[in-house]
């Protein structure tokens, strides 16, 4: 096993899209940032040099970080952030997992510009893939572009409003020809051109492995390539039983690997990523679609047979309000190789409702929820997560490790629904003012503790106040077996017997269907303090988060080792001097 080393210099650069120069914080001047390529069993060492004005952490999304919670990269939860002018080296093994993962900043909305692929290849090379060896492997990172400061965007969201800003969807950092950019003559000259799109050149008859990553802040995407079909072979770096489809549904935080054979007539075919939206137009969620292109290279010397003179083919996309296509796409996933048998029964249960509520602004008395004196927050069981204060002496993980967390005010997640409530009652859906449907809410650091090795069942129940967008729930440090999903209200008597205990998909991000539910099981066997949250930035910034604390096991190799010697400190005075 090798050590794969990278240096990530985090710095602000100017980029121009949508006719506007914007200051963006990126790694090594690139958007998306560098792809990390490793082999299963390798150690990855990333030296993060923070030359940005922001506190920084990088999270290695989907890396299990066995006995290595210290490298998980969640500010004030697992570590004090890397202050401006400082650096820190993340070190972790990529062991026992292979496939497509990714990395991103875990600070405010900054992950919109600070992310990249993290690819783990099998030890025995590409011939050990459980599918035909591809001619080429291509990361396809779907993201979004904002023409505003991303920290400001975050503050706006926490205040419950979206400032006027232009946004666009991207494939591998390119906006594509659905957007108008500007010629070098400048916008003033009136010479507006199309934005560049991502282009994949293919050779006829060859097979391509597309490693799709949704790094976007806001939207689940439908992805298609005109004239081509995909064979889905993996999701969240776990192999799935291959199935054919012409459309991939991918929510923020998810990865999906597909094979695509270049078996169409030579020509040009659009690759489209369409941002989905809940059925009822929600003005707060920007809609966008982006397109790149699959272009056939042909050895023909006759230009007309290269297809260059024929217009590029546009795919038929699902409706942007279509919620069934994602439901069935995710329902089709079954695991190909089970890393371990699914435990037959759970030791602990949790019922988590995903909602939106309102809390009173400080110093105000709010007569009703949703009034001007209150702000809108996202919740789990009517609690909106309160981050540990940035001024704290240490992260929750350090406090836990040093057994200093007894005094921390923590609120536990319940086993059962909080109240008798029809979560998805159609009668509640009339899309009136959201304010009328808000539950009063509290802000607390929501935590649940597990003894080492506990088998945990979680039911995520979406509520009508979410309208019908799906919620991608991501758990750090563990993969989850997705046992079942459904529309409407979860009903244990009806749904437990339908659990798939044979070949459930294994995911780090489970898509909870809009106006529906998903049931997962995981084994809490990785000691540490782990974030569990919705991967929609909109929901996360507003508090749809909880923390799972997994206790040490009884032996040294099931206990969390001490922190790295150069672990960032929280001493704020010293760091202020550095800025
Ligand atoms: Cu990819 Cu906590 O996130």
Q: What is the CATH number of the domain that holds 274?
A: 2.60.40.420
In angstroms, what is the span from residue 106 Cα to ligand 1's centroid? 7
pLDDT per position as a tens digit, 146-200: 988 888 888 777 666 655 667 899 999 999 999 887 766 554 555 677 889 999 9
Closest CA to 52 of 149, 189, 184: 149
For ligand 1, whether the C-beta of 252 sits within 6 Å is: no
**Rounded CA separation 316/227 (Å):** 10
In angstroms, what is the span from residue 227 Cα to ligand 1's centroid? 34
Whether 285 and 422 map to the same domain: the answer is no
For atom 1 of ligand 1, the residue with the nearest CA is: 61
Exposure class string for 440-459: b at 16+ Cβ within 10 A, else e: ebebebbbbbbebebbbbbb
User: Where is the domain boundary, 308, 336, 364?
Assistant: 336
Q: What is the pLDDT of residue 108?
A: 85
In angstroms, what is the span from residue 431 Cα to ligand 1's centroid? 30
Whether 425 and 386 map to the same domain: the answer is yes
In this structure, how many other beta carbons lie within 10 angstroms of the beta carbon of residue 402? 11
Q: What is the pLDDT of residue 185?
A: 55
Contact 424, 463 (CB under 8 A): yes
In this structure, how many other beta carbons lie within 10 angstroms of the beta carbon of residue 85? 14
pTM above 0.90, yes or no: yes
Q: What is the pLDDT of residue 431?
A: 45
In-domain check, residue 566: no
Quick one: which atom of ligand 1 is closest to the CA of 102? 1
**Rounded CA separation 215/247 (Å):** 18
Whether 123 and 135 map to the same domain: the answer is no
For ligand 1, whether the C-beta of 106 sits within 6 Å is: yes
Whether 270 and 155 map to the same domain: the answer is yes
Range of 24's domain?
Answer: 1-130
Quick one: which atom of ligand 1 is closest to the CA of 104? 1
Output the DSSP codes for 138-179.
EEEEEEEEESS-HHHHHHHHHTT---S--EEEEETTB-BTTS
Whether 152 and 88 map to the same domain: the answer is no
In angstroms, what is the span from residue 267 Cα to ligand 1's centroid? 38
In-domain check, residue 526: yes
In-domain check, residue 37: yes
Q: What is the pLDDT of residue 12?
A: 97
For ligand 1, whether the C-beta of 216 sits within 6 Å is: no
**Rounded CA separation 325/323 (Å):** 6
In angstroms, what is the span from residue 339 Cα to ligand 1's centroid? 23
For ligand 1, whether the C-beta of 143 sits within 6 Å is: no
Whether 94 and 186 map to the same domain: the answer is no
In angstroms, what is the span from residue 119 Cα to ligand 1's centroid? 17
Whether 43 and 111 map to the same domain: the answer is yes
User: Where is the domain boundary, 336, 360, 394?
Assistant: 336
pLDDT per position as a tens digit, 367-418: 665 566 778 888 888 889 988 776 678 899 999 999 876 555 566 677 776 6
Q: What is the pLDDT of residue 287?
A: 58
| The two three-digit tokens of residue 140, written as one number | 């396809």
In-domain check, residue 212: yes
| pLDDT < 70 stretches in the chain | 158-165, 183-191, 279-287, 299-309, 338-339, 367-372, 390-391, 405-412, 417-437, 439, 467-468, 572-579
Output the DSSP codes for 362-384.
TT---SSTTSTTEEEEEEETTEE
Cis peptide leading into 32, omega within 30 of 0? yes
Whether 121 and 141 map to the same domain: the answer is no
DSSP state for residue 389 in the 8-state scheme = P
Q: Please, what is the end-to-end C-alpha distance for the chain in angstroms? A: 39
C-alpha 494, offset from chain centre: 31
In angstroms, what is the span from residue 549 Cα to ligand 1's centroid? 16
For ligand 1, whether the C-beta of 531 sits within 6 Å is: yes
What does DSSP say about strands 199-202 and 289-296: parallel, antiparallel, or unpaired?
A: parallel
| The two three-digit tokens of residue 424, written as one number | 């998805």
**Rounded CA separation 111/221 (Å):** 17
In-domain check, residue 253: yes
For ligand 1, whether the C-beta of 437 sits within 6 Å is: no
In this structure, how many other beta carbons lie within 10 angstroms of the beta carbon of residue 349? 16
Whether 267 and 392 map to the same domain: the answer is no
| Inter-residue long-range contacts of 361-368, CB under 8 Å, 24+ positions, other chains counted | 368/435
Q: What is the pLDDT of residue 338?
A: 61
In angstroms, what is the span from residue 151 Cα to ligand 1's centroid? 17
Whether 392 and 521 map to the same domain: the answer is yes
Whether 314 and 413 map to the same domain: the answer is no
In-domain check, residue 262: yes
In-domain check, residue 444: yes
In-domain check, residue 563: no
Whether 40 and 145 map to the same domain: the answer is no
User: Where is the domain boundary, 105, 130, 155?
Assistant: 130
| Interface predicted TM-score of the whole assembly (ipTM), two decimals | 0.99
For ligand 1, whether the C-beta of 104 sits within 6 Å is: yes
Q: What is the tally of structural domains in the chain?
A: 3
For ligand 1, whether the C-beta of 330 sits within 6 Å is: no
In angstroms, what is the span from residue 104 Cα to ligand 1's centroid? 8
């Amino acid at each position: 096993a090798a050590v794969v080393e990278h240096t990530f210099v985090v710095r602000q650069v100017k980029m121009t899209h949508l006719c506007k120069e914007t200051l963006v914080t990126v790694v090594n001047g690139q958007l998306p940032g560098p792809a990390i390529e490793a082999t299963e069993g390798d150690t990855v060492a990333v030296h993060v040099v923070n030359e940005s004005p922001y506190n920084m952490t990088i999270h290695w999304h989907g890396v299990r970080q066995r006995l290595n919670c210290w490298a998980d990269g969640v500010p004030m939860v697992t570590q004090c952030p890397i202050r401006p002018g400082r650096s820190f080296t993340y070190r972790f093994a990529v062991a026992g997992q292979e496939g497509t993962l990714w990395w991103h900043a875990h600070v405010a909305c900054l992950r919109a510009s600070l992310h990249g692929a993290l690819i783990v290849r099998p030890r025995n090379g590409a011939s050990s893939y459980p599918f035909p060896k591809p001619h080429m492997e291509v990361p396809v990172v779907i993201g979004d572009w904002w023409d505003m400061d991303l920290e400001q965007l975050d503050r706006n969201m926490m205040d419950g409003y979206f400032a006027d800003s232009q946004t666009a969807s991207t494939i591998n950092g390119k906006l594509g020809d659905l957007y108008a950019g500007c010629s070098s003559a400048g916008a003033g000259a009136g010479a507006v051109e199309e934005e560049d799109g991502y282009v994949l050149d293919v050779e006829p008859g060859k097979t391509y492995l597309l490693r799709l990553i949704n790094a976007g802040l806001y939207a689940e995407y439908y992805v298609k390539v005109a004239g081509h079909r995909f064979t889905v072979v993996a999701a969240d770096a776990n192999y799935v039983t291959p199935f054919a489809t012409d459309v991939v549904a991918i929510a923020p935080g998810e990865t999906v690997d597909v094979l695509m054979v270049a078996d169409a007539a030579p020509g040009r075919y659009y690759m489209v990523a369409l941002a989905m939206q809940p059925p009822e137009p929600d003005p707060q969620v920007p809609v966008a679609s982006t397109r790149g292109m699959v272009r056939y290279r042909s050895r023909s010397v006759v230009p007309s047979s290269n297809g260059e003179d024929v217009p590029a083919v546009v795919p038929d996309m699902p409706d942007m309000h279509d919620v069934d296509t994602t439901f069935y796409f995710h329902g089709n996933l079954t695991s190909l190789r089970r890393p371990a048998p699914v435990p037959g029964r759970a030791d602990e249960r949790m019922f988590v409702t995903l909602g939106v509520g309102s809390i009173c602004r400080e110093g105000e008395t709010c007569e009703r929820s949703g009034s001007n004196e209150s702000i809108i927050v996202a919740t789990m069981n009517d609690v909106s997560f309160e981050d540990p204060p940035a001024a704290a002496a240490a992260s929750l993980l350090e406090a836990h490790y040093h057994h200093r967390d007894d005094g921390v005010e923590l609120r536990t997640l319940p086993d059962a629904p909080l109240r008798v409530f029809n979560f998805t009652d159609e009668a509640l859906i009339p899309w009136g003012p959201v304010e009328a449907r808000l539950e009063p809410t509290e802000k607390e650091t929501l935590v649940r503790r597990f003894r080492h090795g506990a088998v945990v069942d979680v039911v995520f129940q979406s509520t009508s106040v979410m309208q019908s967008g799906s919620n991608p729930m991501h758990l750090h440090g563990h993969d989850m077996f997705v046992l079942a999903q459904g529309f409407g209200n979860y009903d244990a008597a009806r749904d437990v017997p339908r659990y798939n205990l044979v070949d459930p998909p294994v995911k780090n991000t489970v898509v909870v269907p809009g106006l529906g539910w998903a049931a997962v099981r995981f084994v809490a066997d990785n000691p540490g303090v782990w974030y569990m949250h919705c991967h929609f930035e909109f929901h996360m910034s507003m508090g749809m988060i909880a923390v799972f604390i997994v206790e040490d096991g009884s032996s040294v190799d099931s206990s969390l080792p001490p922190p790295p010697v150069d672990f960032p400190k929280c001493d704020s005075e010293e760091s202020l001097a550095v800025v």
